Amino acid sequence: MNRIEKPESLKATARGEIQKLLTTGQWQRGVLYSANTFADLLGVSRTPVREALLELSAEGYLVAHDGKGFRIREFSEKEIRDFFETRRMIELYVIERVVAGLTSAQTEELRRQQQRMRENFKIDDKVAFLEADKAFHIHFIHCHQNQHLTSVMNNVRNLISILGHEAIIREGRAAKVLAEHQAIIDSVEKRDAAQAVAAMRAHLETTENFLIAQIRAQAGT
């Protein structure tokens, strides 16, 4: 006899699949999605799906609309600035400390993720491009070996990924991201911590300003 899958496992599975759709740009902004939609899509009952959606709402990914459904949360300019303030505090701190001690294998992993981004840029696979971009940044945190920072960064990156898909599809931004990443890699290969920090700072600030410009354009300001 097969063991019956626990409801908590169903909720966790549903949450993982729904969050993947969110962070890879497969939800349409402004559209209400019902729990039934995802229950049918995932082939599970409505209850664990609704619980997963409510959990994602509580964490700031979605907004619930009085039993009518859920939509992607819109982020304010202040929230974007807060996200990137957090990223700078973590990523600049980490890259300054890990650059000198990176092994050849760890440096090669950065090149590998950069190559993944190039390949997916060529075939216009925005989802895979963003996944490689996230792996590139998280790799520095892994090298620092601080699980608490990894957890915070994963959460911030996942929230930013909701906007990241829209940012990448803007003409010219993906190519600039590749160039900015290459500047970081060049600094890492020279083991120049100060230059690596400057390159990472420039990359994060450019991305922040790009997203804020998008928000202002959408608001007509």
pTM beyond cutoff 0.95: no
The pLDDT value recorded for residue 168 is 66
Higher-confidence position of 168 and 45: 45
Q: In whole angstroms, how far apart are CA 33 and each of 47, 74, 78, 221?
A: 15, 15, 26, 29
Instruction: Give me the mean pLDDT over the 86-94 stretch.
Output: 96
Would you give the DSSP letter of residue 33?
B
77-219 folds as Four Helix Bundle (Hemerythrin (Met), subunit A) (1.20.120)
Distance of alpha carbon 214 from the chain centroid: 17
The pLDDT value recorded for residue 166 is 63
E strand intervals along 22-180: 62-64, 70-72
The segment(s) of the chain belonging to CATH 1.10.10.10 are 7-72
Which residues lie across from 62 on neighbouring strands?
72
The pLDDT value recorded for residue 139 is 96
| Among the listed residues 16, 14, 27, the one whose alpha carbon sits nearest the alpha carbon of residue 70 | 27
Find the range with the poorest average confidence among 3-7, 54-58, 149-153, 214-218: 3-7
Residue 187 has pLDDT above 60, yes or no: yes
Q: What angle do CA 189, 194, 200 make, to 5 degrees?
A: 75
Q: In whole angstroms, how far apart are CA 76 and each of 6, 84, 151?
A: 38, 13, 23
Residues shown for the chain: 221
Residue 15 has pLDDT above 70, yes or no: yes
Position 185: which residue type? I
The segment(s) of the chain belonging to CATH 1.20.120.530 are 77-219
Residue 2 has pLDDT above 60, yes or no: no
Higher-confidence position of 216 and 114: 114
At 70, is the secondary structure helix, strand, or coil? strand
Range 7-72 has CATH code 1.10.10.10: yes
Centre a 10 Å sphere on the Cβ of residue 191 and count the other Cβ atoms it contains: 13
Q: How confident is the model at residue 144 (pLDDT cuts 50, 70, 90)?
A: very high
